Structures are given as C-alpha cells and as structure tokens.
Amino acid sequence: MITDGRSTVHPPGCRVCGQPIRAFFDFGRQPVSDAFRDPADRSAEFHYDLAVGACGGCAMVQQSHEVPRARMFHADYPYRSSGSALMRDHFEAFAHHLLDTELKVPDPFVVEIGSNDGVMLRTIAQAGVRHLGVEPSGGAADAARAHGVRVLTEFFQEDSARRIRDEDGPAVVIFSANTVSHIARLDSVFRGVDALLAPNGVFVVEDRYLGDIVDSTAFDQIYDEHFYLFSVESVRNASRRFGFELVDITRLPVHGGTIRFTIARAGARPVAPAVGELLAVERARGLAGHRTLDRFAERTRHARTELVDLLRRLRDQGRTVVGYGATAKSATVTNYCGIGPDLVPYICDSTPAKHGKLAPGSGIPVRPPAAFADPYPDYALLFAWNHAEEIMAKEHRFAAAGGRWIRYVPRVHVV
C-alpha cells in the first residue's frame, strides 16, 4: 500500500483476494462526497481519483484508490438516515421482522454496524432488546442516543468487535445497511464478525446491488463512500474466504435497488434457492465481465453529454433550474459532468447540517426546502431520485404550477 499523503493507493490487486483488477471507469479527481463546506473556508479542498474496476478472481467491483476513512466519517458527517419517511418505514419493518424471528431466543443481543441516527435500532431499543450500534460519526451516534439507542462511537473492525464480545457476549444478529460497502478492509469486518457472532447467528448486510446499478446506469452510486459495489457472486466469494456462507438474499427496491444478504457461519444454515438462482442470472449475463461493464461506462459517458447539453440549452433559453437533494451521489454527477452554480445555482435539501454550506467540489450552495417555492424554478434536477415519490408528493405544488422534474436515472429525461 502506498500513501501519497492525500489518499491511499493500493497496487492493482483486489482488496479481497489479491488477483488482478480490470479497471472499467475513471471519474477523474473527485471531492469527499459528504464534505459540505463552509463558504468562508478558503482551505484547499481534498480530492482523489475516483476509479473503479472488477476483480478477475472473485468478481468484486471496487475502487482503486481509497480515501482515509477519518476524512469521510467523523463528528460532522452530515447524513441522517431518518430524513426519509420511506427509509424510516423500511428499517422499522425490518426491526419488527427481526423481533419476530431471529430475536425470539432467550436474552438476544443484536449489533448494528453503521447505525447512524438509530433509524433501525430505535425499534429494537423500544422492544427492550439488548443491542449496540457501532457508529464512528459522533453527531449521528448522538442522534441515536437521543432515541434511547446504545451506541459505541467507533469504527467496527476486528479489535472493536472483540471488545464488544468480551463485554456483551455473542450477538445473535449483526446487521449492517449501506455500510459494509464503505469499509475497504473487508477482512477486518469478517474477522470482527467471526469474533462476535453466536455460532448459529446471522450477519445481515443490506447494500446497493451492482445488477441494479448497471441496469439503470446509476453511475452516481459510485463515490468515495461506496468503495465496493456488491453482487451475489462477489459477496458469496468474500464470505467463503473468511469461513462464512451466503445463505439467503432478498432484493429490495430502496435506494434504487438493494439486496439484503444473509450470511452465516459455513455449514450452520441451509442455503436458500434464491442464492443459486440469482448467481446463475449474474453468470449468464456476465455481470462483472468487461463487456457488461464497458457498456455501462459507455452509457455513463452518454448520460453526461445528454445532461450537460440539456442544462446548457435551458440556461441559454433563460429557464431556471434548481437541484433537489444534496445527496452524496450528487457529488459524482456535478463533478464528473462539470455542473456548477452557473447551471444549477442552488440545491434544496432537508438536512439542517447541509444548509448554508457549499456542495463539495461544485461549490453549489445548499438551501432549505422552503427556498424551493421562493420562487419555484422552471425545472428541478432531482439528485435524490431514489426518494422521487416522497419528494414529488411533498412538492406537488411545483408540478401543479407548471414546474418540471429532470431525472438522469435510468436515462436523462424531463418528467
């Protein structure tokens, strides 16, 4: 591993199995996607090379450079899972599912990796079940504590997992949503799970699915935090490497296409047919193969051209365009496409910590949702496209007043 003082570059081998990586896209220099800046901050902005490739050995799709984790996840990390009613309902339903199944044993203990503001664990806490969130971002951890959730403000890794095991005993469920893909050291995650999980426990991992990202050309799902893009094949291979087995999968519609992977100790549980079925589909379509990924790259370049052409045309016609949802994903869109305040003068977003800040790289100001109607723009570029239903319902007056939404997933179009 080589540290250049700014980001960490690793030799062109796979972070999981060491086999060669075939690069398929390079987005160029990109900022830290959730590093919203104070307008008075004149310090140089951190950038790194956002490039992705697929491993020829284990099929894991991964980045070739790594942002030091403390630059991304710290006390001021602004994302709050509970900002979306859809995600609150989604995680509450999952917590009830756990309470009705895996947690129906004497004195169960459940651990969540990346518990953020406690969107899932608050339901577990209310049920009086022993639990622990492991969450390095202090602000998010405090928000969870305010909901009665017990949190350890640390990165989950082998040593923190061992300490938890020593203090609280084994966990029957270790859950993690949209976080395992953020941890380059998968070996440390699996060794930690090995130390902490009960013999017949389950490690449940929910994350964006590579198949859905490719199918919908959701190129904006690629940014610093998403170090890995998971498939059934790559997660099954990684699990086996560390003494585990992928025993079940469930596809979910959230975040534009997610899979819930259920992982158990090798031999502890039977493997559900769904695993082999989707694995066969992935192999038949060559999901991690160069033909599929090169075509994805081609469609990504095409989306950039179409989106920039549309925004320039609207500007030249004197139309106003405002962004909606200062997502982490939008950093890839604005910085890869070269979209700045000249094309999108501000972005409206409901997250208080982002208000009054400048979006990373692009320098586009972020304003509260109230600014959206003051006055309505002609067009709104929906960066939070995964929350389209919720946002369009909230902002129904915009369309009623003649406003139009611009989408770029699965292709650039005006709604």
Interacting residue ranges for ligand SAH, rule: CB under 6 A: 73, 77, 79, 81, 87, 113-114, 116, 119, 134-137, 140, 155-156, 177-179, 182-183
Nearer to ligand SAH, 68 or 169 (CB): 68
Q: Does 14 bind Zn ion (CB under 5 A)?
A: yes
SS3 content of the chain, % helix, strand, coil (to 5): 40, 25, 35
Residue 71 CB, shortest distance to ligand DWN, in Å, is 14
| Tokens 């960490």 -> residue | 8
Phi then psi for residue 135, to 5 deg, are -145, 110
Residue ranges in 159-188 that form contacts with ligand DWN under rule CB under 6 A: 178
Nearer to ligand DWN, 158 or 225 (CB): 225
Region for residue 129 given its phi and psi (left: phi exceeds 0; alpha: psi -120 to 50; beta: otherwise): beta
Residue 37 CB, shortest distance to ligand SAH, in Å, is 19
Phi then psi for residue 72, to 5 deg, are -95, -45
Q: Does 115 bind ligand DWN (CB under 6 A)?
A: no
Q: Does 157 bind ligand DWN (CB under 6 A)?
A: no
Q: At what angle do helices 232-241 and 273-285 cross, to 10 degrees?
A: 120
Phi then psi for residue 162, to 5 deg, are -65, -40
Residue 326 binding partner per list ligand SAH, Zn ion, ligand DWN, none, with a CB distance cut-off of 5 to 8 Å that depends on partner kind: ligand DWN
Question: What is the distance between the alpha carbons of residues 202 and 147, in angstroms, rounded to a whole number?
Answer: 25
Q: Does 386 bind ligand DWN (CB under 6 A)?
A: yes
Question: What is the distance between the alpha carbons of residues 95 and 129, in angstroms, rounded to a whole number?
Answer: 11
Residue 1 CB, shortest distance to ligand SAH, in Å, is 17
Where are the extended beta strands (E) located within 135-218?
A: 151-152, 171-177, 197-208
Are the beta carbons of 295 and 238 closer than 8 angstroms? Answer: no
Residue ranges in 18-57 that form contacts with Zn ion under rule CB under 5 A: 19, 55, 57
Residue 57 binding partner per list ligand DWN, Zn ion, ligand SAH, none, with a CB distance cut-off of 5 to 8 Å that depends on partner kind: Zn ion
Classify residue 37 by its DSSP letter. Answer: B
Contact set with ligand DWN (CB under 6 A): 79, 83-84, 178, 225, 325-329, 349-351, 369, 384, 386-387, 390-391, 394
Contact set with Zn ion (CB under 5 A): 14, 16-17, 19, 55, 57-58, 60
